[in-house]
Chain A
Amino acid sequence: MLTKRIIPCLDVKDGKTVKGVNFENLRDAGDPVELGALYSQQGADELVFLDITATLEKRGTLVELVRKVAANINIPFTIGGGISSIEDVSACLNAGADKVSINSSAVKNPALIDSLAKEFGSQCIVVAIDTRHHQGIDLVHTHGGTKATSIQTIPWAVEVQERGAGEILLTSMDHDGTKGGFANVLTSAISHRLNIPIIASGGAGNMQHFVDVFTEGAADAALAASIFHFKEIEIPVLKHWLADKGISVRNS
């Protein structure tokens, strides 16, 4: 049976992972390829690399990162960060990326989702949605969750699917960084409304939170960053815990 996926997310700036990563057994904890390979060995199901480099030569740094990851890691990975055109996506896929994630550029120009899905197939187009609860409604935010839009989250998720997204990466800005658990109510509402897989992100603090997001939240995959980077939760331990709780996972 298809398993629930555990996805570590690595933020990369100027070719180095950011956020304090704490792995004494790595030669260079700042090397995204080495850290990604370690997660892969530990049983991560996929990886997400988010390039937060802000330069004019953005595409060059993205493609270079993709090439290094693809050459060295034998599980699927998604690349995101400032991708805004067919040319960007083509360059990343040709360099060996399995999927690309788009966010602000899709909000700014929703037709981009249609053209990417048509050109490359839905399976490689992940639309990231940053959402925040605001006066009783869930609103899409852009620019790393800092800018509110007037777009409501659930209708946007439906639109994203209709335009051809293959997956949604849903990050709750209310939960992100709190370690208080994922946004299960909203995740569940979107997962039940849509036919495409939902990756839940934001709020992971302990192993029970993963159980909750896969059951109450009906998520297909769960993404986290700092709890893995700081080894607060180790992936093999998490997967055994999930299996014990009756969640179908790949134990390697």
Chain B
Amino acid sequence: MRVAIVKYNAGNIRSVAYALNRLGIEPEISDDPEVLKSVDKVIFPGVGEASTAMSYLKKDGLDQLIPSLKQPVLGICLGLQLMCTHSEENNTDCLNIFPVQVKKFPFKDQIKVPQIGWNTIHDLKSPLFKGIDENAYMYFVHSYYAEQNPYAIATTDYIFPYTSAIHKDNFYAVQFHAEKSGDVGSQIIENFIRL
């Protein structure tokens, strides 16, 4: 099993690599198109700001490569947002794998933005969540969210319900940090590896 992590300026590459190590996998951290096209699974991590991340991806042509990948791809956190059409974060055009808009959480009723901490996922609909209970707790850190959409495989409530995981063809993405969500998060990564 060869697993690659897309190498760009994402802040959580090391954490994702450690999470894979704990599953007995030594990932290839790479921006080489040949590596990314040839591995069995690709993880597209992300922590940071959307427009900066997109400019890094464009510089290396990864903005063209990622949507063309054929094997299972898992986006995490900002990775999910970048796989959508557009983000309100600095008005950024993204990879357009999912025709979904990414919006900023409004300031409302003393609810804090960013959302930081453990929240639940429900309406789980994917082999990605095999063995995961409805309302399992996952760790989230984000100010922007994917609007509810037909590709939803998990939903989370913060201010209002939003889509916290999506799936289309070979592309999967989760808004929460599976690599930091304890044993439940580790199970989700293992499920992805086994797809």
Contact = CB atoms under 8 A, between A and B. Distances in A.
A70 B14 CA distance: 8
> Which of B181, B182, B185 has the most CB atoms of chain A within a 10 A radius of its CB?
B182
A59 interface: no
Contacts of A221: 117
A68 to B, nearest CB: 11
Interface of B: 11-12, 14-15, 18-19, 21-22, 47-49, 107, 110, 112-120, 137, 139-143, 157-158, 177, 179-183, 185-186
B112 A197 contact: yes
A73 B1 CA distance: 24
A218 B109 CA distance: 13
Contacts, number: 92
A2 B139 contact: no
A38 interface: no
Contacts of B19: 74
A2 B15 contact: no
A56 interface: no
Contact of B180 (A3, A4, A74): A74
A94 B14 contact: yes
A111 to B, nearest CB: 19
B142 A74 contact: no
Interface stretch (A12-20, A24-32, A121-129): A121-129
Given A123-B141, A124-B47, 5 more contacts: A5-B117, A123-B142, A166-B114, A166-B116, A250-B137
Grouping DSSP codes into helix (H, G, I), strand (E, B) and loop, the B interface class, with mixed when no group exceeds half, is: mixed
B116 A123 contact: yes
A70 B18 contact: yes
A96 B119 contact: no
Nearest to A122: B114
Contacts of A95: 14
> Which of B15, B21, B48 has the most CB atoms of chain A within a 10 A radius of its CB?
B15
Contacts of A3: 117-119, 137
A176 interface: no
Contact of A74 (B14, B118, B140, B186): B186
Contacts of B120: 1
Interface residues of A, number: 33
A96 B18 contact: yes
A5 B137 CA distance: 12
A79 B61 CA distance: 34
- In order of increasing CB-CB distance, the 3 nearest A-B pairs are A96-B14, A250-B118, A250-B137
Contacts of B22: 74
B118 A5 contact: yes
A98 B118 contact: no
Contact of B182 (A2, A4, A40, A123): A40
A192 B110 CA distance: 7
Contacts of B185: 74
A51 interface: no
B52 to A, nearest CB: 9
Contacts of B182: 40, 74-75, 252
Contacts of A70: 14-15, 18
Contacts of A74: 19, 22, 179-183, 185-186
Interface in A211-252: 218, 220-221, 250, 252
13 contacts: A3-B117, A4-B117, A75-B182, A76-B180, A93-B14, A98-B12, A98-B15, A120-B11, A121-B11, A121-B47, A122-B114, A167-B116, A197-B117
Contact of B112 (A1, A76, A195): A195
B192 to A, nearest CB: 15
A192 B107 CA distance: 12
Interface string A96-128: 101000000000000000000000111110000
A45 B118 contact: yes
Interface in A40-91: 40, 45, 70-71, 74-76
Given A74-B182, A93-B11, A123-B47, A1 B18 contact: no
A21 interface: no
Given A1-B119, A2-B158, A3-B119, A196 B112 contact: yes
